[in-house]
Amino acid sequence: MLVMIMVTNRRFPEMGSGGADGRRGIERMTAQRRAILEELMGVDTHPSALELYEMVRQRLPRISLGTVYRNLEIMSEEGLALKLEHAGAECRYDGNVSPHCHVRCLGCGRISDVPLALPEGLAVEAEKASGYRIAGHRIEFDGWCGKCRRKRRKARRGE
């Protein structure tokens, strides 16, 4: 199980070249970065970079896939987006950076949010049990979505 939930402020950084703290995402919110972030925050499907690129191209036809990848990395580093990584699977992105859990289908790879209240003091308990200083956590469950469960049942019955 992968463990990390980040809590951040979802407001857009100011336009311009501010950022005295040197953080790239706060230095400049370009029109491209803003479009990528708005598209990401407008869906709950946890798109891949390629899927997000196709969405953003409807608004910005000249944007490149490389630009989308670079901006997703910057936004992930700055806490404006979550990068959902899973061994052997394509990275997915989430515009909802509030604390929440995910469930990933073992069949099709679909990711969904799980509206589950996390126990208070979880990080403190993890620190006590591990001796680590906990910086964050992400909780992801693995399972089979309804569509994949039906496919598996049909396959077992030989249909």
17 domain residue, yes or no: no
Q: E-assigned strands of the chain?
A: 82-84, 92-94, 101-105, 111-114, 140-143
Q: Could you list the residue range(s) of the whole structural domain that residue 53 is in?
A: 24-157
Provide, rounded to the nearest whole percent, the portion of the chain with pLDDT above 70: 83
What digits encode the pLDDT tens for the residues 96-145? 998 899 999 999 989 999 988 888 898 899 999 999 999 888 889 999 99
Residue with tokens 């061994």: 87
- Whether residue 28 contacts residue 16, with contact meaning beta carbons closer than 8 Å, is answered with yes
| Residue given tokens 């953003």 in the structure block | 56
Tokens 């806490």 — which residue? 79
Q: What CATH number does residue 121 fall under?
A: 1.10.10.10
